[in-house]
Amino acid sequence: MVTIGVAHFVIVLLGELFSIVAAFLWAGSTIVAAKTLKRVSPLTANAVRTASASISMLFVASVMGGLTDLFRSDLYGSLMVIGAALVGFGLGDTCLYWSIGLVGISRSYTIGYSYPFFVMAFATLLLGESLLPKHLIGSTLVFLGIATVFADRGVKLEQEGRKKGLALAIVTAVLWSIGTILVATGLITVSIIQANTMRFPLLGLILMAASRLQSRRSNMDRRSLILLVLSGLLGMTLAGVIFLFSIQLIGVSRAAPLSSSSPVWAALMSSIFLKEKISLRIILSALAVVAGTYFLL
């Protein structure tokens, strides 16, 4: 019995560690991508990182046996998964990068990570799910976190640019929430490995085509290309697979709240690596959003 208890403790500890590592990698990948946004447009940046993730996911799928059943996937589930990628990763991440260029990572990422609030709101209004007392607590904390970011005056930009950046962060949260609902529907009949393998290549092609049509030319250099490829590998492939293992070990109900620590990691990293000035107000807002997300999940 003691051996079983120790083994269970190790499994839980490992699952929790994987979830935190995934949150750390998600934040880190955003920091890496942000280093390129002064030269590369948000759309092009998202296209390059998605393309790198699609190539690496094909390798992961082949190792984990996800390619054999790829073309036998359920059609409805596949369409939901692809739609989720277009809305969440395609539009959502592009809006996030646009917002980062205007108000910085700590503010845009914190607001963007309030998306579980919108998931809960959509699920309650459109899907008829029950609204629990803990959801009200979580909603209040998330609202306070967002309000705190909006009240912060640390962004040294013209007022119009500041408003636009914060508004884009809210749009990011809404788009991520829609993508979450769509992918949750699709994953009923499609495995996570199959979902990532089919949606990333298609999304990469669409983003690449869109970036080609974009009027603004991006000054993509070798350094920017390497950083964006690294961002895709860290955030979309490695973090995604690690989070999958976390869910398998401890379940989504325990893994998801731990992964919501990502805004705190992003705020700390942006201060260290991007030299962003992080105020106590921003740290408190990130903690409020993380705490609110815990109650919403």
Mean pLDDT of successive 10-residue stretches along the chain, which has 297 residues:
69 85 92 91 92 85 66 79 90 94 90 86 76 82 83 60 89 91 80 76 88 71 93 90 78 70 88 84 86 79
Per-residue model confidence (pLDDT) at position 21: 92
The answer to whether residues 111 and 172 touch, using CB atoms and an 8 Å cutoff, is yes
Per-residue model confidence (pLDDT) at position 1: 55
Per-residue model confidence (pLDDT) at position 215: 56
Give the structural domain span for 92.
2-296
The answer to whether residues 201 and 20 touch, using CB atoms and an 8 Å cutoff, is no
Distances (CA, A) of 114 to 41, 101, 169, 265, 286: 24, 19, 10, 15, 10
Count of the separate structural domains present in the chain: 1
Per-residue model confidence (pLDDT) at position 126: 73
Per-residue model confidence (pLDDT) at position 229: 95
Q: 186: exposed, middle or buried (C-beta count within 10 Å: 0-12, 13-18, 19+)?
A: buried
